[in-house]
Structure 1
């Protein structure tokens, strides 16, 4: 299987999960009315998806190091299809939450192993480059999903969005079954128990720093996606289709950030790439926060600032992921699970906690994003000022 084929199949297997995360965002108001729940309860759908999406990655990753990538990927895709079918069959709010939980538990396999597959085949600057290609391709799904979701919701109602996800899940499963070849040969597998495998990976403070940066930047992305529709609805009377267009405007900049990381992988040091990404995170968060105090600039600042923040995240994710998994040839599944599981579990828990806040406005959003970007910058400080290597 060529590098290009592997990249395309990796993008395909992650696409259904990425679409699940953003497809319904433009329709949140209409879904709240149809399901007879308060508008501010809809972010729970994303939380119920992200928490199992994070938790189950901790299981899939180490198991894939022992049994191979292919069986775990197919199992996860089948579970995802089951969750989608459940929502289609019983379209009520609590089943929506349950189905979202099952969807997250299933697509966690692809979310975890997309990092391991690249490490199975590539190393060095090639690893950064191909992770950048995967990041660019993966962003096509959330780029298209809000447009598709807004159209389906307006034309056929919110349930049609989950019929669409069910079809995508079935097709993805069939294609992976026929086309995907195992990337982890028997000679590269290990039989180490799960806990010692995690201890082996977490012993590296460099890995922990990269994981912390990914968690911080990802929390900002998830928070922005979860509250964007609510904030825009508070500031204007736009339709779900118009909101979906505004929602996707920052996403091409994520694509651009990932492309820059891929292009500059040979020329720039990892340190320079990460500081450039972090500067974009800080600038984007500052734009969102400052524009909140100017009513005429509030909506524009939300979109433009979000775009700059997404550009930084798009650049940071492939670089930090590559640096984190590079030392772990036989434990890349475990390392990938820790990266993806921690980021998504942390994001889901954070959404639950922010749902308990008495209010959510653009000032609070900007302040939180600035905090996440600041944490990323702190983790990039020299080792002896951030997380020093433990004494042996």
Structure 2
């Protein structure tokens, strides 16, 4: 089809835009991570209550995606995406103005409902435009763009916290939402032509979830990619208090540490974009699962021995594999369901954030002032990721 990707320069801008849209979730979370202790103090809330704002955001993101995917399969991507981004911006303003932790938690849920549109539909747009093998390569390139968000967000969040307090982080998220709304309105065309959706009823679009839920290949891909994402969110939820409160790192040092992990995501996805055509998406996903599980075991041993450098190394490996697994697993899933690419991308994204929600909740619920809950949850999620990959390989044969 004719798209903005017909010239190399325009193709680069197109992928950059889509990668930035996928970054809605990471940006809305990572930007305010250094401010979590300050939010707890400013709203007179417990650490567990403030951590729950992450869990609630993940829940809203997961729920929102499930609606956006099939609706966009029926009515197109552009209008649905614009509606979701507008809701995200309005809820970001509510976060900025919150005066109690309950208000913040509710606003974060609504913010996530809106933000899910940009993240899931950017992936569906790639499947609209590219053939399956090329789509996986583009998804990896998008993931390298997306990695810039967690690379810069904690550092920017630390600077905003120092200059404007914790509300400054939400002001930046609001500005991001408004800018994204304007850019999508101006630059993103409709990529799903009417002739490819006119015969599909809304009920049929949602019925795709039933087929996906009964397909062992799909289940394996959802577990392989989603549980890796859950491991990252166990780290995201626990790490501010582990590194800042327990290990006595400054918010700036914590932001730099977080940025180093984002560099790992960037490097892994860049390598994947170069290797996936020759090695295959399934093989690269296997590399990601094996590496992530190895990093989880290293983290577990290091936490038990209170070896901070090894803790950092184990987390680096685990987090670096999330984007690589995500790009390959969602690409394989959308290739299997080309007529329901929006629903496939939505279910995959919802599973990622749904699993992330439970991992985040598990870390918060078992919080004991040490790093052990983080280590146990990450080992458990990466074990499930490996089992999911093995299920996929067996079912695909």
TM-superposed deviation, 1:192: 4.9
C-alpha distance in 1 between matches for 2:223 and 2:23: 25
SS in 1 for 2:278: coil
Quick one: distance in 2 between partners of 1:12 and 1:388? 32
> SS of 1:197's equivalent?
helix
**Bigger shift: 55-64 or 89-98?**
89-98
- Summarize deviations over 1:146-172 as a string: whole Å, max 9, x none: 001011001111011111111111111
| Alignment pair present for 1:275 and 2:286 | yes
Q: Counterpart of 1:191? A: 201
Partner Cα distance (1:383, 1:222) in 2: 23
Q: Which moved more, 1:319-328 or 1:368-377?
A: 368-377
Q: How far off is 1:382 after superposition?
A: 6.0
Determine if the alignment matches structure 1 residue 330 to structure 2 residue 332.
no
Alignment-derived partner of residue 378 in structure 1: 387
CA 382–99 in structure 1, closer or farther in 2 if over 3 Å, else same? closer
Instruction: Find runs of 4+ consecutive structure 1 residues off by over 6 angstroms.
Output: none
| Distance (Å, rounded) in 2 between the aligned partners of 1:382 and 1:36 | 46
Aligned in 2, Cα 1:307/1:157: closer, same or farther, shift over 3 Å?
Answer: same
* 1:124-273 paired onto structure 2 within 5 Å: 124-189=132-197, 190-193=200-203, 194-273=205-284
When residues 86 and 23 of structure 1 are mapped into structure 2, their CA distance, relative to the original with a 3 A threshold, is same
State the Cα deviation string for residues 30-63 of structure 1 (Å, max 9, x = none): 2211111112322111111110100011101000
Partner of 2:63: 55
The equivalent position to 1:102 in structure 2, one of 89, 94, 110, is 110
The correspondence for 2:305, drawn from 286, 291, 294, is 294
Structure 2 residue aligned with 1:315: 324
Tell me, in whole angstroms, the C-alpha distance in 2 between the residues paired with 1:380 and 1:53: 24
Q: Find the aligned partners of 2:192 and 2:81 in 1 and give their Cα distance.
A: 13
Change (3 A) 1:102 1:267: same
Return the match for 2:87 from 79, 86, 93.
Answer: 79
Conserved in 2, the CA contact under 8 Å of 1:128 and 1:261? no
Structure 2 CA distance for partners of 1:246 and 1:331, relative to 1, 3 Å? same
Aligned to 2:8: none
2:98 paired residue number: 90
Instruction: Please state which structure has a larger fraction of its residues in helix.
Output: 2
Q: Distance in 2 between matches of 1:383 and 1:285?
A: 21
Please give the TM-score of this superposition, normalised by the length of structure 1: 0.93
What is the alpha-carbon distance in structure 1 between the residues aligned to residue 211 and residue 384 of structure 2? 25
Q: Decide whether aligned partners of structure 1 residues 325 and 39 sit closer, same or farther in structure 2, where only a CA change above 3 A counts.
A: same
Farther off after superposition, 51-60 or 202-211: 202-211
CA distance in 2, matches of 1:257, 1:99: 34
- Alpha-carbon offset, residue 302 of structure 1: 2.4
Counterpart CA distance in 2 for 1:105 and 1:218 is 19
Contact 2:151 2:261 (8 Å CA) reproduced: no
Looking at structure 2, the residues matched to 381 and 200 of structure 1 have their Cα atoms a distance apart, in angstroms, of 20
Contact 1:57 1:340 in 2 (8 A): yes
d(CA) in 1 for partners of 2:264, 2:63:
29
Between the aligned partners of 1:18 and 1:380, the Cα distance in structure 2 is 24
Q: Does residue 352 in structure 1 map to residue 361 in structure 2?
A: yes
- Classify 1:360/1:125 alpha carbon distance in 2 versus 1 (closer, same or farther; 3 Å): farther
The count of residues paired between Structure 1 and Structure 2 equals: 386
Contact 2:141-2:270 at 8 Å conserved across structures: yes
Secondary structure of 1:306's partner? helix
- The Cα shift of 1:23 comes to 0.9
- Tell me whether 1:22 sits opposite 2:33 in the alignment: no
Q: Provide structure 1 residue ranges, at least 5 long, that are not aligned to the other structure.
A: none
